[in-house]
Structure 1
Amino acid sequence: MGVNFDLNDLQAFRAVVELGSFRKAAEAVNISQPALSRRIDKLEEALGVRLFERTTRSVTLTTVGRAFAPSAEQLLDDLDVALLGIRDVSSSRLGHVTIACVPSVAYYFLPSAVASFHRRFPRIRVKLLDASANEVLSAVISGEADFGVSFMGSQESEVDFKVLLQEQFVAACRRDHPLARKKRVTWNELYEHEYVSVDKTSGNRLLLDQALSAVSPRAPSVCETRHVTTMLGLVEAGLGVAAVPSMAMPGRNHHILTSVPLVDPVVKRRVGIVRRRGRTLTPAAQEFHQTILDMRGDVGSSGTLTDDVARKARPSRKPAS
């Protein structure tokens, strides 16, 4: 016996799942709330199960509904992929894209990409998983994320790594710090001052330990943290200086922080898009992927954001008193 439901019923189901409300879902798919309820009733009748528990105040998925939701999402995504070469379905679809990203890229670079994407596709939700480089790889391989942005993955057999840019490590310091007056700083000079660092769980720490095997700090760091963005907060508070990837820095007009290139040796990292090998991106994910590729033109040769983009991306903050 055939299953008596259609594409509209699946789209109504997905809308309710994503928005958690029959009223909001009806608005999203441009039908009345009673019409949307009829579509859900039809789907439940065809499947012979209840997909939602409904009260006057809430809508929640049943156990069967939670099991069915990923399959419905996959069916609709597969259909979008099939139609992608025929017509543009991305601008009108109600969907989502999940990106895993290392925090040093997520804080200043990625917000501009998200803002640009949202202006073009306001009905597509973006979920960012800001995580360590190893966690980004795991999220991409497991399928939790559509793709990732990281500096690790080029040696992994399960993923493809497309280089976006190469950036240099710089000395991050306050504008009133003695190092701020220099044109370049050696690693030994950096370590003559109090500094903060990332701990051994960080991919950046692994990269630096390998590159700086001949450099010995005179003293341990005054503080260790897991993420580069936290280090910048500590530097801004006056706790010391830090070695960070240039992309993690705000624009040149930041009122407190500045950076100086680190030399002897020059340490660089490659930032790229990480995708699970053999996986086809959904139209929504493909559009966001292209948005990030287009953003490369907004990044300076050193890996820092151009001032116009940095002003749009960074949070508005007043000078410290």
Structure 2
Amino acid sequence: MLRISDLQAFVMVADLSSFHAAADQLNITQPALSRRIHKLEEMIGVMLFTRTTRQVHLTAAGRNFLERARKIVIDTEESLASLRGASSDRRELIRIGCLPSLGMKLIPPVLDEFLKRYPFVALRVLDMNAIELVEEVARGTLDLGIGMYTASNPNVQFNSLAREALGVVCHQKHPVAKCDALRWRDLRDYPMASNIQQSGNWLKIQRALEDEAIQLNWFHQVRSMLGAVMTVQSGDGLAVVPRSAVDVLGIPGLVFREVAEPTIHRDIGVLTPSTSMQTIYVREFVAKIEEHMSSLNW
């Protein structure tokens, strides 16, 4: 008899390309997972995977079967969620943390598509800095994060999706606004805004500039990227920001300039807990984030 748990196991292995990772996500042992896949293969009469000591690949039959199996799993979980919703006030919940500059670009279009398909899934969206993001994902208080991976953590998986330039923003009347080619050492005499609370962007800039023995004039103190932008609106000083922040804020009169020697980028993507099982709704939301992020011009 075909069991939904066997189909869930197949979809999970196919998505992760790993029996070990899939077993962790399903919270079962690897031998138990292998037995589920073997039973499914025996029932439908085809091999679904080719296995080596290090890699797992779908066979041609497995690729053909994957979308049908995924639809059965999703339809079953949707039906169960609807029944739970009809019998109680219980709702599915996805807990999301994101950098504000990324969330403003990504969350609205993803929500539009996701909630049309899963209207019974509630979202808890929290904006936070990159350091907090890694910490909360590692603790398991977030199902996923959208941002930077600031420090290696065994409890966090990071899927890098894009690379974004870090530079400076200033008022259009500032001397830097008229410069086409900037180096970090050219900015040493200008007052810069720094975050009182350490942020991922600030740490990345500091590490890169220390290697070049460049010391900037961290003069103004702020608590957020928005606060940093406020300090430069009057025409005084510079703020270090990613390009996406300027696009999101859309404040007239501000100019973004990339800076070289060294050129500094940040890798952005999706963070998920490595020690907890993801629901199919979390996996679908992550897939939507990945799809939209890959289509943006960074």
- Please classify the TM superposition score into its range, dividing by the shorter chain length: 0.5 to 0.7
Match of 2:73 in 1: 85
Equivalent residue runs for 1:127-166 within 5 Å: 127-152=124-149, 155-166=152-163
- Kept in 2, the 8 Å contact 1:103–1:130? The answer is yes
Q: Structure 1 residue runs of 4+, over 4 Å off?
A: 88-94, 251-254
Equivalent position SS for 1:105:
helix
CA distance in 1, matches of 2:111, 2:234: 28
Work out whether residues 96 and 144 of structure 2, in 8 Å CA contact, stay in contact via their aligned partners in 1. yes
Cα distance, 1:286 vs structure 2? 1.9
**Distance in 2 separating the partners of 1:232 and 1:289:** 30
The separation in 2 between residues aligned to 1:297 and 1:253, in whole angstroms, is 22
State how far apart, in whole Å, the 1-side matches of 2:247 and 2:137 are. 27
Q: Could you tell me how far apart the structure 2 residues matched to 1:86 and 1:200 are?
A: 42
Stretches of structure 2 lacking an aligned partner (at least 5 in a row): 1-69, 83-90
- Per-residue deviation, 1:163: 0.3
Q: Is the 8 A contact 1:159 1:276 kept in 2?
A: yes
CA positional deviation for 1:85? 2.2
Distance 1:231 1:84 in 2: 49
Encode CA deviations 1:269-299: one digit per residue, 9 max, x unaligned: 1112111114332232222211110112332
Cα distance between partner residues in 2 of 1:90 and 1:143: 24
1:230-309 mapped onto 2 (5 Å cutoff): 230-250=227-247, 255-300=252-297, 303=298
Deviations 1:235-266 (A, max 9, x none): 33444221112222216975332211111110
Aligned pair partner of 1:210 in 195, 207, 210: 207
Amino acid in the other structure paired with 2:196: D
Given residue 201 of structure 1, which amino acid in structure 2 is its aligned partner? Answer: Q
Counterpart position of 1:103: 100
For these two proteins, the number of residue pairs brought into alignment is 218
TM-score, normalised to structure 2, is 0.63
Contact preservation (8 Å) 2:147, 2:268: yes
Contact 1:107 1:248 in 2 (8 A): no
Matched-pair identity in % = 24
Quote the RMSD (CA, aligned, Å). Answer: 2.9
TM-score by length of 1: 0.59
Whether contact under 8 Å (1:153, 1:274) holds in the other structure is no
